[in-house]
Amino acid sequence: QQQVKQSPQSLIVQKGGISIINCAYENTAFDYFPWYQQFPGKGPALLIAIRPDVSEKKEGRFTISFNKSAKQFSLHIMDSQPGDSATYFCAASTPSGNTPLVFGKGTRLSVIA
Amino acid sequence: GAVVSQHPSRVICKSGTSVKIECRSLDFQATTMFWYRQFPKKSLMLMATSNEGSKATYEQGVEKDKFLINHASLTLSTLTVTSAHPEDSSFYICSARDLPGQGNEKLFFGSGTQLSVL
């Protein structure tokens, strides 16, 4: 059972454009929703995260939009740059000190000049 | 920010040998560490949860005798792939949580280990 569904699987965006990646979840007990960026041969790095008490969080060019009623959240990358080309994973977890993250399947983003 | 050091970054071994991968939290104490496996162009698959001083909890389908996990201190967890076979070739990633009970907001990942079994 896939608890976090991520789309699209791959994405090509022109430099300067907006990259949008979507995730949906089923478990209403999830209360933490991070996005990770992973470059080839490297471990994932936390990009930005949100909790359900807010509908949007912005950090620089990265914004998370959260829709609790629809059980969906998305990552927006504004002014996308070639250096943003990477694989992005959404994730979710329940409130617990030892609960592992549940990851989406990932989105391979390519930003072309 | 907190750093998790994973070593080695790449290892090539012969079939039948054992390989140990280390995961260290450099500037914090990690009571919980997670080990993941990642196939090319795929997501991270949780293998086991490692708690300091106790036995690791393995996910369904992960052989505990094949993938030995030791979390002997608050800064070090090791994953040993025993009697490695080519199908064990994969990218292995550890993650460590800073501050017990703080959830995943203080979760940091290592840089991964690419294991190739010949």
Q: What are phi and psi of B30, to 5 degrees?
A: -110, 100
Which of A97-101, B2-6, B79-83 has maximum average pLDDT?
A: B79-83
Lowest-confidence segment of A33-37, A97-101, B17-21, B33-37 by average pLDDT = A97-101
Distance CA A105, CA A87 (A): 10
Give me the mean pLDDT over the A61-74 stretch: 97
Model confidence at B102, pLDDT cuts 50, 70, 90, reads: low
CB contact under 8 A, B93 and A32: no
Q: What is the pLDDT of residue A11?
A: 98
Burial A16-55 (b: 16+ CB within 10 A, else e): eeebbbbbbbeeeebebbbbbbbeeebbbebbbbbeeeee
pLDDT digits (tens, 9 = 90+) for B48-72: 998 888 889 999 999 999 999 998 8
CA distances, B63 to each of A33, B57, B81, B88 (Å): 30, 11, 10, 12
- Mean pLDDT of all residues in chain B? 91
Closest listed residue to residue A46, CA positions, set A28, A29, A64: A64
With a cut of 80, say whether residue B99 has pLDDT above it.
no
Chain B: closest CA distance from residue A7 (Å): 13
Closest listed residue to residue B29, CA positions, set B109, B96, B88, B92: B96
Strands (E), chain B: 4-7, 10-13, 19-25, 30-38, 44-51, 57-58, 67-73, 76-81, 90-98, 107-109, 113-117
Contact A88, A47 (CB under 8 A): yes
- With an 8 Å Cβ cutoff, the interface of chain B facing chain A consists of 4, 6, 9, 32, 34, 41-44, 46, 49, 51, 91, 93, 95, 97, 100-105, 107-112, 114
Model confidence at A105, pLDDT cuts 50, 70, 90, reads: very high
Q: What is the pLDDT of residue A95?
A: 74
